[in-house]
């Protein structure tokens, strides 16, 4: 693995890869993408959380913080391994340029995934059995509960466990769960096999990337979803009443972007309980991500110092309060368990001195986003002191043109007012047409140790390629997909040459 501190990365979630089956997968397209990154001299591939998505299909509201998204399993690989027929993967209703239609993808892929799992169960050989049994033993902490939870989500029509499931099931009565495990043993086994398929395919992708000197940056949402198996199996770790209803919701207070703040709805942690268990759940969680990735971005890192807590009865986030978190205690345990922490601190939003101290005392790089860099002082003059401007970026930071939550750089620029556009053109010394590329170039030139770009910005795509719009729920979120990995030669050459020129090649 290379040791050069100045690295270049590309942000692209696997769901956005081109694929014949309606959603990106861990098959040939993932390997071709890695080859493309290697050819471009890129050494970091950043992804979003890999967990199985529920309502809204957000990777940040997964049904499990440990499991993998079954929809990413590559069908062609399963056919090659003999668990599906060739006809299963050749006959499909998708166009490669379509956005991800999750409902349509589920209707197509889930029956085939079940078929493949049943074929594995019936026909596996000794070596396959040994590998599968080892996987189950290694992941015993979460696997059995997750496999059952998926069955229960089907039984209860994806209703919320804490409000609509039968009382004994909700409270995890041991006898009742034993009956369910016996009654639905076949379905549970299928779910476990699918996780085995996912793990095999993802580990193969990661090994291939690492051999190409490419490290994978994973993502850890600081909170878990309320309707997740994590909340169902460990309610004692969250602030809930005796009926498992949340006492508080997570969110962020009002700011320049939202007059009412953002009410996320995730359950907040009972940090005293985590401390009593020496952060065992967190240690297992981070260990699972480090198995799948080389580097971790902690989303909403400031919540490890203090988080915004809103009473469950409130309709907005306006009346919340800041509550301290034992972030340093947690990081100390993680250091003891894993050594030096390969963590990127997502330190965006309301950042106070205590957050900066937690980040800097642990020598964690923060994030610099160019879309937040161009502003004005009260007197109307350009604010050249903005910490996100390229010339102000410190070495121990990661610079981005934008993230999955931002508009594409081109789409963002097109929507700006004339004064801000003029300030950007003057700063970059370029015309309107060249702004996206000049921002990429400025990031590569910056002092930040890593420069990471959404692939949409390398391709200079407009708002139609946006990945997510925060605080909204619609078909356009999380569904953007790349039509092809064949880019224009001049574009690849320009990007590669700049990476080399500014000392960021792999």
Instruction: State yes or no: is 88 an active-site residue.
Output: no
Cα–Cα dist 37/283, whole Å: 31
Active-site residue (options: 57, 74, 230, 299): 299
Active-site residue (options: 230, 346, 407, 457): 346
**334 and 286 in contact (C-beta within 8 Å)?**
yes
Task: Give the other-Cβ count within 10 Å of 107's Cβ.
Answer: 12
Active-site residue (options: 35, 405, 460, 462): 405
Cα–Cα dist 63/70, whole Å: 12
E-strand stretches of 403-455? 450-454
DSSP three-state, residue 345: strand
Instruction: State yes or no: is 405 an active-site residue.
Output: yes
Instruction: State yes or no: is 347 an active-site residue.
Output: no
E-strand stretches of 201-255? 215-221, 248-252
Contacts of 121 by beta carbon, 8 Å cutoff, 6+ apart: 189, 190, 193
* Cross-strand pairs, 221: 299
- Indicate the pairing of strand 262-267 with strand 248-252: antiparallel
- Residue identified by tokens 């027929």 is 85
E-strand stretches of 325-473? 343-345, 366-369, 397-400, 450-454
Supply φ then ψ for residue 125, to 5 degrees.
-90, -175
Cα–Cα dist 377/437, whole Å: 26
Of 222, 354, 220, 358, nearest in space to 291 by CA:
220
The radius of gyration of the chain from alpha carbons, rounded to an integer in Å, stands at 23
Query: Among all residues, which ones are annotated catalytic?
Result: 299, 346, 405
């Amino acid at each position: 693995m290379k040791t050069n501190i100045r690295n270049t990365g590309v942000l692209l979630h696997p769901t956005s890869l081109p694929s014949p089956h309606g959603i990106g997968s861990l098959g040939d397209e993932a390997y071709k993408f890695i080859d493309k990154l290697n050819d471009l001299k890129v050494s970091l591939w950043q992804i979003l959380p890999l967990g199985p998505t529920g309502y809204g299909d957000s990777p940040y509201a997964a049904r499990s913080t440990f499991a993998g998204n079954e929809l990413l399993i590559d069908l062609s690989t399963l056919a090659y391994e003999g668990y599906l027929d060739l006809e299963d993967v050749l006959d499909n209703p998708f166009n490669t340029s379509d956005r991800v239609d999750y409902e349509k993808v589920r209707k197509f892929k889930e029956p085939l995934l079940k078929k493949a799992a049943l074929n594995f169960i019936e026909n596996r050989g000794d070596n396959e059995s040994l590998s599968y049994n080892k996987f189950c033993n290694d992941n015993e902490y979460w696997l059995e509960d997750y496999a059952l939870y998926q069955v229960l989500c089907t039984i209860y029509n994806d209703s919320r466990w804490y409000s609509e499931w039968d009382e004994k099931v909700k409270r995890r009565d041991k006898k009742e769960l034993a009956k369910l495990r016996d009654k639905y043993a076949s379905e549970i086994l299928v779910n476990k096999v699918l996780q085995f398929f996912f793990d095999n395919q993802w580990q193969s992708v990661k090994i291939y990337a690492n051999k190409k000197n490419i490290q994978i940056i994973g993502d850890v949402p600081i909170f878990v979803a309320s309707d997740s198996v994590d909340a169902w199996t460990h309610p004692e770790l969250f602030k809930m009443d005796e009926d498992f209803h949340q006492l508080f919701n997570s969110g962020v207070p009002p700011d320049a972007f939202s007059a009412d703040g953002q009410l996320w709805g995730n359950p907040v942690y009972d940090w005293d309980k985590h401390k009593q268990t020496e952060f065992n759940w967190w240690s297992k969680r981070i260990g699972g991500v480090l198995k799948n990735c080389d580097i971790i971005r902690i989303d909403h890192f400031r919540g490890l110092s203090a988080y915004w807590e809103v009473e469950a009865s409130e309709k907005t986030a306006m009346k919340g309060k800041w509550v301290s978190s034992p972030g340093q205690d947690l990081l100390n345990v993680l250091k003891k368990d894993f050594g030096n922490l390969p963590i990127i601190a997502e330190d965006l939003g309301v950042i106070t001195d205590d957050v900066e101290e937690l980040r800097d005392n642990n020598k964690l790089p923060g994030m610099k986003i160019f879309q937040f860099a161009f502003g004005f002082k009260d007197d109307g003059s350009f604010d050249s002191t903005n910490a996100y401007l390229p010339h102000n970026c410190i070495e121990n930071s990661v610079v981005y043109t934008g993230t999955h939550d931002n508009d594409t750089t081109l789409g963002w620029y097109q929507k700006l007012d004339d004064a801000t556009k003029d300030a950007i053109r003057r700063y970059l010394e370029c015309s309107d047409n060249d702004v996206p590329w000049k921002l990429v170039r400025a990031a590569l030139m910056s002092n930040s140790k890593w420069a990471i770009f959404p692939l949409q910005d390398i391709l200079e795509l407009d708002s139609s390629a946006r990945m997510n719009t925060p605080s909204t729920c619609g078909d356009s979120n999380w569904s953007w997909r790349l039509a092809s990995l064949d880019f224009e030669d001049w574009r690849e050459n320009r990007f590669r040459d700049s990476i080399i020129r500014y000392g960021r090649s792999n």
